[in-house]
A and B are shown apart, each in its own frame.
Chain A
Amino acid sequence: MGERDYLRFAIALAVKDLTVELRRAHELLSIIAFAMTSILVSSFAWRGSLIRTPEVLSAALWIVIYFSSILTLTTSFAREVDRGTIEGLRSLPTPPFVVLIGKVIYSLVVLLLVLLTTIMSSIIFLNLKVAAIPALLVLFVVGVMDLALVGSVVSALVMYSEGKTLLLSFLFFPVSVPVLIPSTQAAGRILAGYTLMEVMPEIQLLLAFLLAIGVASFLLFGHVFQE
């Protein structure tokens, strides 16, 4: 069994999760509705000069993405435990980290959908500058990859706990701080007119964090996944 098989298995797991998600679309729709209404409410509150303040707009966008990722990741492993299908995943002849990669790909796709909704809504309701979107997209995609990986690991850590939703919310924040600090600062600078190259140190930091968490997950996820 080689790396290509592992990737094929991870994609099969992600496709399964997305199919399940789309057939019970109320959860995905509620996350997208949350993202859209948050932007809409922000536009009501910040009519006037404040909406052009890059730092405030950056914070608004990341708050929406952060809370959407909590909503997405809460169900990631918890649903498998609640339905008993986690044993099915554990019976698969594949290393545990392949299951994690599958969950990360699924979370990433859902969060990218939320991200697109958020950006589209922001263009309409918060006068987000279209010129800033390519650089913002690069930043957000890397940040969302970080959140999807960290969130999936935390979701797996708390999957057998009684109050998993509450625990995820509490545990997810401290491990997300290394993502949120550079991301919000970089987004603010992009919105203030900086180029992508000028925020490259922050993006490199996000990529380094992704690599570090990726290696740690690869080494430790087997213990988390075992009953």
Chain B
Amino acid sequence: MSQAVQLRGVTKTYGLLPALRCIDLEVGLGESIAFLGPNGAGKSTLLKIVAGQISPSSGRVQVMGCDVQKRPEYVKSLVGLVGHRSFMYDELTVDENLRFYGKFFSASPGDFDRVIEMTAMEKWKNTKARHLSFGLRKRADIARAMLGNPRVLVLDELFSGLDVDASELLVKHLKSNRDASILISSHSLDWAKRLCGRGVFLRNGAIERDVEF
């Protein structure tokens, strides 16, 4: 198996509105790919479909050779997802949030230290999520997504709302994790190029260009 993610003829419609039109795409093992395009291009919908959050209207999606619709739970155990909004609970500390999510992803005790170290969150691990800045919250979310060693990381709007330093740090941390394939959506071509080796430009739910950076 040489593909981490494979999409064949994937379409998605919301009512009569098409969000994705016949997407064919392959993402290699360990490859980093950025989905770029204007608002409403279908980037987030595509990532949500890969992560098993929503079902495609037609077509087939495979993650590590498994059909997302046939084995959704197994596929979700292979995917680390960072959504547009944070999944952290305000009332829980970073460590408590990680331990809660870790229970579902078979995270070992060493996993928590590893992801905390990888995202440089040691100083904030006992801080409640509500007291974290936007950038720190994003890092905590990435730490959560890395629990259980996912084979695919899906990061929606990774750089939005982050300053240069925080983005720099994220790129550094993500580049240090070479095991997983990374799929991001972004409005920033510059930052996408810093992290990914390939860019897919979407417009009106269809692939406009697929380029190597």
B-binding segment of A15-23, A28-36, A66-74, A180-188 = A15-23
Residues on the A chain within 8 Å of B85, using CB:
83-84, 87
Q: Name the contact of B104 in the complex, choosing from A20, A83, A92 (C-beta under 8 A).
A: A92
Question: Taking chain B's interface residues, is the majority helix, strand, or loop, or is none over half, making it mixed?
Answer: loop
Q: Scan A59-87; emit 1 where CB is below 8 A from any B CB, else 0.
A: 00000000000000000000000011101
Residues from chain A with a CB closer than 8 A to the CB of B89 are: 16, 20, 83, 85
Which among A1, A20, A88 has the highest number of chain B CB atoms within 10 Å?
A88
Cβ < 8 Å to A, chain B residues 72-97: 73-77, 79, 81, 83-92, 96
Question: Is the beta-carbon distance between A91 and B76 smaller than 8 angstroms?
Answer: yes
Closest residue of chain A to B145, judged by CB? A91
Given the complex, which residues of B lie within 8 Å of A16, measured CB to CB? 89, 92, 100
Instruction: Indicate whether B149 reaches chain A with its CB closer than 8 angstroms.
Output: no
Q: B34-42, B47-55, B117-125, B205-213: which one contacts chain A? A: B47-55
Q: A16-B92, A94-B73 are in contact. Are A85 and B100 (CB under 8 A)?
A: no
> Is A87 a contact of B83 with CB atoms below 8 Å?
yes
Tell me the smallest distance from the CB of B19 to a CB of chain A, in Å. 12
Kindly identify which residue among B52, B54, B83 contacts A88, using a CB–CB cutoff of 8 Å.
Answer: B83
Residues of A within 8 A of B (CB): 1, 8-9, 12, 16, 19-20, 23-24, 83-85, 87-88, 90-95, 226-227
- Contacts A87-B53, A90-B53 aside, 11 further interface pairs with beta carbons under 8 A come to A9-B103, A85-B87, A85-B89, A87-B81, A87-B83, A91-B87, A92-B101, A93-B77, A94-B73, A94-B104, A226-B54
Sort A-B residue pairs by CB-CB distance and give the 10 closest, nearest first: A84-B85, A88-B87, A93-B77, A93-B76, A23-B91, A20-B91, A87-B83, A91-B81, A92-B104, A93-B73
